[in-house]
Each structure stands twice: as structure tokens, then as C-alpha cells.
Amino acid sequence: MQNKKVIIIGTVALCIIIIAGVAGFIIFSKGSKKTEQPVAQQDMVVPTVNPSDIGFSLTLIQSGKFAKNGLDMKITKVSEIASIDYELDYTSQGNIPRGAIGHVDVKPTDSAIDQQLPFGTCSDVCHFDSGITDIKVTLKITNKDGSVNQLVSPFSL
């Protein structure tokens, strides 16, 4: 009988110790949680290139389907370039911001890039914008060595 009392008291004491331990763990773990601080986003500075470094030029298209309604973008120094992403931004009549984006992969056989950038949209039929102002072309140039450069070029009609 004496042994049964010792076993019951020991079991109850062990249960109390386990419950107290679990409760203490929960209480102390909540109080010691560190609040995570958001990581500040760092803007990556992309080196710029001069238009002459890549043989870049913009001209108003003078003939053909886009005559006087688009730009001809030429890049003649492509030997170290893997690809170019471009963005054409402009404002059309009524102060409406417009633009276009595109991508050009430079093939090993390419000696130059010649891309026409219309002021408007074309599918079966072209619909050109009028009253074009504030023209800007931005290039993201990915080189064959993996480095990235940019070029921003305003254009006036």
C-alpha cells in the first residue's frame, strides 16, 4: 500500500513538472521571439554607355509603312552584345502616355541591329498616334560576358 502511494505521488509530481515545463516553454518562447525587420531593397546601379560605344543612332523613319510615324533604331557595334531590351516612351495628343517594349537577341551572324519603332499599333492595319512629344528610348544591354549596361536617349521630332 505504501508503494502504491509513492507511485501515485511520483506520477502526479511528474505530470505537474511536465505541465509546468511545457507552460514555461510556451510563455518564454513567445516573449523571446525576435521581430523580423524587413530587408531594405537596394537599387542596383546599372552602368550607362555612350551612344558611340555601341554605334547607337535614332532617326525618324522617312519612307515605307512607318514613314514619319516611327523611329529607326540602329546599333552597329554588336560584337560584345548578347541581347537588347528596349523601351520606347512618348506622349501622344491629349497628353496620353504611350510606348512599346521589345527584345532583340543578337545572333553570331549579326553585324548590326536595325529595329523600327512605330508610334502606334499594328496588326493587320496600323493605327498611328498623332501629336507625338517627349520621346525617349531606353536600352538594357546584356553583354556576352553577362554584364549589363543601359542607355537612355531622348529624341525630338
Per residue in 26-82, pLDDT (tens digit) is 776 665 555 566 666 667 788 999 999 999 999 999 999 999 999 999 999 999 999
Write down the domain spans for the chain. 51-155
CA distance 116 to 61: 8
- Average pLDDT of the chain is 87
pLDDT at 114: 97
Indicate the helix (H) or strand (E) that contains 37.
none
Specify the pLDDT at position 120. 95
Neighbouring residues of 73: CB distance < 8 A, sequence distance ≥ 6 = 56, 57, 58, 86, 113, 114, 115, 116, 117, 137
Q: Which helix (H) or strand (E) holds 5?
A: helix 2-31
**CATH code for residues 51-155:** 2.60.40.2150
